[in-house]
């Protein structure tokens, strides 16, 4: 009581209350202005995520410039992954040859948020040779999606890879299984030469961006975060109906 009396007597109570109020307001402002992380339930668009989406978008353009993808393939696909700048040395030395972006088709026929995937397999490196190449992989049945979801996606084992047809007349219900591959380099991933190649979710990058929603990426139920829309927009714009 004596201390409070002395503060009031010296006119310090008012200034001290003001200082304390300003401090509380400052801490509140810092809390509201903090970066929102994926653990807060909102997506965090990292620099790596932006770079990978931009690379996949560019790869999409390079492949569709030389390969015709019939609209019927896109209409029936359950998911799609695009890999950019696959290089022989990366496969043989590092095991993982390329980063890619995956999208799951939604129940309404649209496309979910871009997820991040890795491609690995030394045999593919041997096919590429000394040049770089890009590839688009369409998931044509539930079995191929289930293999990706469970971490068991491997060409020649759980999944069959086929070179993607370039005309609507070459597509039939009986052939729409496994995955279709469209690559700038003919024959890439086709047949037995692709055996042992795997596609896996990049769990670290997906968790960094989507946090607790990472597991939902395979369902297509995650909304695309602001800053990563370019890939989905480019995909819709670049895939044109094929002439029969």
Tens-digit pLDDT profile for residues 121-163: 655 545 545 567 788 999 999 999 999 999 999 887 778 888 8
pLDDT at residue 221 tops 80: yes
Residue 103 three-state SS: strand
Residue 232 has a pLDDT of 92
- The confidence score (pLDDT) of residue 196 equals 75
| Angle ∠(188,73,129) on CA atoms, nearest 5 | 10
DSSP 42: S
Output Rg (C-alpha) for the chain, integer angstroms.
25
Mean pLDDT, residues 62-77? 91
* Residue 176, token pair as written in the block: 């729409």
pLDDT class for 114, splitting at 50, 70, 90? Answer: very high
pTM for this one? 0.76
149 compared with 197, residue with greater pLDDT? 149
* Closest CA relative to residue 70, chosen from 175, 142, 145, 199: 175
With a cut of 70, say whether residue 73 has pLDDT above it: yes
The share of the chain scoring above pLDDT 70, in percent, equals: 66
Asked if the model's pLDDT at residue 115 lies above 60, the reply is yes
More confident of the two residues 216 and 3: 216
Cβ burial, residue 136 (10 Å; 0-12/13-18/19+): buried
- Domain segments of the chain: what residues? 2-33, 41-238
- Confidence tier at 243 by pLDDT (50, 70, 90): very low
Q: Which residue has the tokens 């770079």?
A: 51
Of 56, 202, 44, nearest in space to 117 by CA:
202
């Amino acid at each position: 009581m004596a201390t409070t009396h002395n503060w009031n007597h010296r006119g310090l109570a008012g200034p001290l209350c003001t200082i304390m109020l300003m401090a509380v307001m400052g801490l509140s402002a810092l809390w509201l202005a903090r970066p929102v992380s994926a653990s807060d339930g909102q997506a965090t668009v990292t620099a790596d995520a932006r770079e990978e989406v931009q690379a996949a978008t560019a790869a999409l353009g390079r492949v569709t410039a030389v390969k015709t993808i019939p609209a019927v393939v896109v209409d029936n696909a359950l998911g799609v992954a695009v890999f950019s700048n696959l290089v022989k040395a990366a496969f043989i030395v590092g095991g993982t040859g390329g980063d890619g972006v995956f999208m799951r088709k939604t129940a309404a026929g649209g496309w979910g948020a871009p997820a991040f995937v890795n491609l690995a397999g030394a045999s593919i490196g041997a096919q590429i040779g000394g040049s770089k190449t890009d590839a688009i992989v369409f998931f044509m049945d539930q079995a191929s999606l289930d293999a990706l979801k469970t971490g068991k996606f491997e060409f020649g084992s759980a999944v069959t890879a086929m070179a993607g047809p370039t005309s609507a007349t070459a597509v039939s219900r009986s052939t729409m299984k496994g995955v279709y591959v469209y690559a700038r380099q003919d024959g890439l991933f086709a047949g037995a030469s692709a055996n042992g190649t795997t596609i896996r979710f990049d769990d670290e990058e997906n968790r960094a961006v989507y946090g607790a929603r990472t597991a939902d990426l395979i369902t297509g139920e995650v909304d695309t975060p602001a800053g990563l829309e370019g890939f989905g927009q480019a995909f819709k714009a670049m895939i044109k109906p094929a002439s029969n």
